Structure 1
Amino acid sequence: MPKRHTLKTQKLAASHTKSHLHGMIRLIVYLPLLVVSAWSCSPTGDNKAAAATPMPEVKAAQPVRQTVTDWDEFTGHIEAIDAVDVRPRVSGYLDKINFKAGAKVKKGDLLFVIDPKPLKAQLNFAQAELKQAKVKLELAKNDANRAERLFKVKGISEEEYDSRSKGLAEAAAALQSAQANVETAQLNLDYTEVRSPIDGRITREQLTLGNLVNGGTAGEATLLATIVSTDPVYAYVDADESAVLKYRRTLLKSSQGAVAGERIQVSLALADETDFLHQGFLDYISPREDSATGTVSLRAVFDNPDELLAPGYFARVRIQGSVPYPALLIPDKAIGRDQAQRFVWVVKDNGEVEYRKVTIGPHIDGLRAIKEGVGEGDWVVVEGIQKIRPGATVKATRIGTQQAADEAKP
């Protein structure tokens, strides 16, 4: 009996232990679920954080309508209208330099002097020969007159008469030759003073005083300096066939005449300039295409009173590509780039933003013309673009378009 009671007690204890163990297991299994459920319902969870996140704040503006003109941009180079290499016409030693390197010179200004003494001596010699020729001519005239009188009375033969008449003609020819020699000697003496052939700015001298210079033709004469005209100047660009055809049609549409290159507006910006500050016009379109490059040479004329446009400089050149037309403009900073596509964000009435592809036109004072993609009543995001995602809802502050453009300027 005692043994049987003990066994029953042990079974009850084992059963109680097993039941307690199962309860502990269930508690361990369900406890994380209870914790997760409680945390997800807790006011400190992600749902509350998401619900509390404010809408992105942006600024939006409506397009403005203005009259614009399309422009095509090229890389061009500036050249002087006149450029002259200064070379001597006579040989001799360089005696004087009468200018400062880089100075402005006027046509006729004295630049160089070549030692005149040898050429002055040549002039004196030629003048002496001229005097001799005049004396010989007078003697020949007197001799011919006597011969004529004698020939009339049969005092001399016809042969003698012809000989004396020939002597008169030879003396007259010798006088003309002597006169020409004097004129040549005088010119050579004058050429010892080398003067500027044009108005412009002169380079530094290529030789110093005392050097021997050679005169004559361009291939043989010594280069002394170069003068380039500075106002106005030319700007040359190369354009493809389609652009040139567009310019010719622009001339016809604008009723400016059918002459190629007549008053198509051109603007220019130097290497350190952002804006196209220099205004000119197209004055020449080549009548033929370069077969090697497939381009046509264009030339524009620019006034250059301050001489900033120096010959040899490269520049950005814009050429008028259309007649003026009305267009919608938005701040340039509102336009994003998606690979090769341009786009803007448009805010709907409910605050949702819409992605719009746009076709852009010319840039004007911080604004960009939009040819396609937005309407006159659309509100375009101009500030806070980086905060926007497709389908997002934003809080938009409406501002003026020009205000937005001005705020974007540095």
Structure 2
Amino acid sequence: MPHRRPAPMSSILSAGGLVLLAALSLGEARAQGGPPPAPPVQVSAPLAQRVTNWDEFTGRFEASEQVEVRARVSGFLDSIHFKDGDLVKKGDLLFTIDPRPYRLSVDAARAEVARAKAQVELAQNEVERAEGLTQNRTITARDVDQRRANLNSAIGSQQGAEANLKTAELNLEWTEVRAPLSGRISNRRVDAGNLIAGGQSGATLLTTIVAVDPIYFTFDASEADYLRWQRRNNDLRATASREAGIVAEVRLSDEQEWKRRGRIDFVDNTLNARSATIRGRVVFPNSDQFLTPGTFGRLRVFAGEADALLVPDSVIVSDQANKIVLTVGPENKIVPKPVTLGQITRGLRVIRTGLSPEDKVVVGGFANPMVRPGAAVTPQPGEIKPNGSN
């Protein structure tokens, strides 16, 4: 019997590789034919903490005081004593109206007062002389009465002349237009050299001044918010009128933190019948003059403290008009739960309704397209951590 030579090692390896490849191919085929594995997700119970509740509103800053500066007397505008946009103090000189015609009126009024005083002095002497002559019956009593009447008439004329003098002096004083309050002044509306009208009606607008320290912030609250405040404080208007009023904070459109704090000092006496809202006002200090009337802001009003459930804002998804949080329910399947959102606290979103402390909220892995309502998942432990101090 002829001796058979053993197969080369390379042939054996090749055959083994073919067998292994065939086995892998068979396993892969079986895997492709079966159900895909459940995707892993990180789950955690919502964070339970006691938080400070805030009601948020959008509003606008307004000047605490505002005045339209108008002249009280007419004349040519002689000079301007401020720069547009300056900070002015109460009593600062702003405009000067040509005072020469009013100085002449003062001089004329003083001359009239002097003439009237001379008439009073003359009439007084005549009365005294007549009273001495009545003792020897040189003049009649009727003549004495006439001279006393002339004296009283002269005194009345003197009083009228003195009143006209005061009016002329007041008009002369009004040729200097001064700031009626402290604040920031607008631009001049009339240049020097123009003829301006004064008086109580039709007076020329010269400029405006607004007081911005403190500054007001006005907002509209819903009827539901107002009723809730009323029940919590019994009388919101009385509470807001006290020094320790309701705390409110505001932030501007480019700010992330609530750094500015004030207090509600006024709530309107009626609700708007059309919008079912009521107007409120908050007073904020503004010593650096940074806040400007007309600027929009976001306001939050203290609404008490309560126990709440918190989740990261990133886990909240939208489903048409609802906000949804994905949870893992029985049989490790995704269960969506509609929730009502509250404010952001310490970097987490307050969930007002829709979750319970026992829920397993999906906090990681939900970006996988296979993680959808009703799908089976593999839950893994996750954690919700607060961030920040607001």
Coarse TM-score class (shorter-chain normalised): 0.7 to 0.9
Find out whether 1:369 has 2:350 as its counterpart: yes
Structure 1 stretches lacking a partner, 5+ long: 1-37
Structure 2 vs 1, CA of residues 89 and 213 (structure 1 numbering), >3 Å: closer, same or farther? same
Show the counterpart of 2:221. 239
Find out whether 1:382 has 2:382 as its counterpart: no
Show the counterpart of 1:94. 77
* Pairing partner for 1:138 from 111, 121, 127: 121
Find out whether 1:75 has 2:58 as its counterpart: yes
Find out whether 1:47 has 2:31 as its counterpart: yes
Q: How does 1:8-407 map to 2 (within 5 A)?
A: 42-45=26-29, 47=31, 56-217=39-200, 219-252=201-234, 259=238, 261-262=240-241, 263-320=245-302, 322-347=303-328, 353-376=334-357, 378-387=359-368, 388-389=371-372, 390-394=374-378, 396=380, 398-402=382-386
Per-residue CA deviations over 1:42-71 (Å, capped at 9, x if unaligned) read: 2332615968x7764544444333322433
Residues 237 and 267, structure 2, Cα contact 8 Å, conserved in 1: no
1:363 positional shift: 1.8
Per-residue CA deviations over 1:249-297 (Å, capped at 9, x if unaligned) read: 1213xxx987153522333333434554432222222222333443322
Show the counterpart of 2:5. none
Show the counterpart of 1:17. none
What code does the residue aligned with 2:240 have? G
Residues 328 and 371, structure 1, Cα contact 8 Å, conserved in 2: yes
Structure 2 vs 1, CA of residues 112 and 258 (structure 1 numbering), >3 Å: closer, same or farther? closer
* In 2: Cα distance, 1:313 partner to 1:360 partner: 27
1:153 positional shift: 2.1
* In 2: Cα distance, 1:397 partner to 1:130 partner: 99
Structure 2 vs 1, CA of residues 225 and 46 (structure 1 numbering), >3 Å: closer, same or farther? farther
Q: TM-score under structure 1 normalisation? A: 0.78
1:211 positional shift: 0.5
1:239 positional shift: 3.0
What code does the residue aligned with 1:259 have? A
User: Among the aligned pairs, what percent are the same residue?
Assistant: 39
Show the counterpart of 1:27. none
1:167 positional shift: 1.5
Structure 2 vs 1, CA of residues 75 and 231 (structure 1 numbering), >3 Å: closer, same or farther? same
* In 1: Cα distance, 2:336 partner to 2:24 partner: 35
Structure 2 vs 1, CA of residues 346 and 152 (structure 1 numbering), >3 Å: closer, same or farther? same
* In 2: Cα distance, 1:330 partner to 1:193 partner: 64
Greater displacement, 83-92 / 174-183: 174-183
* In 2: Cα distance, 1:180 partner to 1:352 partner: 95
Residues 105 and 168, structure 2, Cα contact 8 Å, conserved in 1: yes
* In 2: Cα distance, 1:178 partner to 1:111 partner: 31
Could you say what the CA RMSD is over the residues aligned between the two structures, in angstroms?
3.0
Structure 2 vs 1, CA of residues 241 and 359 (structure 1 numbering), >3 Å: closer, same or farther? closer
Greater displacement, 233-242 / 376-385: 376-385
Greater displacement, 179-188 / 263-272: 263-272
1:375 positional shift: 4.2
Per-residue CA deviations over 1:346-400 (Å, capped at 9, x if unaligned) read: 4579976544443332222321112344444655332332222333323635344
Aligned residues: 362
Three-state SS of the structure 2 residue aligned to 1:259 is helix
What code does the residue aligned with 1:239 have? A
What code does the residue aligned with 1:278 have? R
* In 2: Cα distance, 1:95 partner to 1:66 partner: 68
* In 2: Cα distance, 1:227 partner to 1:299 partner: 21
- Greater share of strand residues, 1 or 2? 2
Three-state SS of the structure 1 residue aligned to 2:55 is strand
Three-state SS of the structure 1 residue aligned to 2:304 is coil
Residues 363 and 382, structure 2, Cα contact 8 Å, conserved in 1: no
Residues 248 and 260, structure 1, Cα contact 8 Å, conserved in 2: no
Greater displacement, 275-284 / 40-49: 40-49
What code does the residue aligned with 2:345 have? I
Residues 42 and 364, structure 2, Cα contact 8 Å, conserved in 1: yes
Structure 2 vs 1, CA of residues 208 and 310 (structure 1 numbering), >3 Å: closer, same or farther? same
Structure 2 vs 1, CA of residues 353 and 227 (structure 1 numbering), >3 Å: closer, same or farther? same
Residues 78 and 315, structure 1, Cα contact 8 Å, conserved in 2: yes
* In 2: Cα distance, 1:73 partner to 1:180 partner: 59
* In 1: Cα distance, 2:33 partner to 2:247 partner: 59
* In 1: Cα distance, 2:49 partner to 2:28 partner: 53
Structure 2 vs 1, CA of residues 318 and 292 (structure 1 numbering), >3 Å: closer, same or farther? same
Residues 101 and 202, structure 1, Cα contact 8 Å, conserved in 2: yes
Structure 2 vs 1, CA of residues 46 and 315 (structure 1 numbering), >3 Å: closer, same or farther? farther
Residues 58 and 396, structure 1, Cα contact 8 Å, conserved in 2: yes
* In 1: Cα distance, 2:237 partner to 2:91 partner: 40
Per-residue CA deviations over 1:141-200 (Å, capped at 9, x if unaligned) read: 111100111123211112211111111112211221222122111111111111111111
Three-state SS of the structure 2 residue aligned to 1:140 is helix
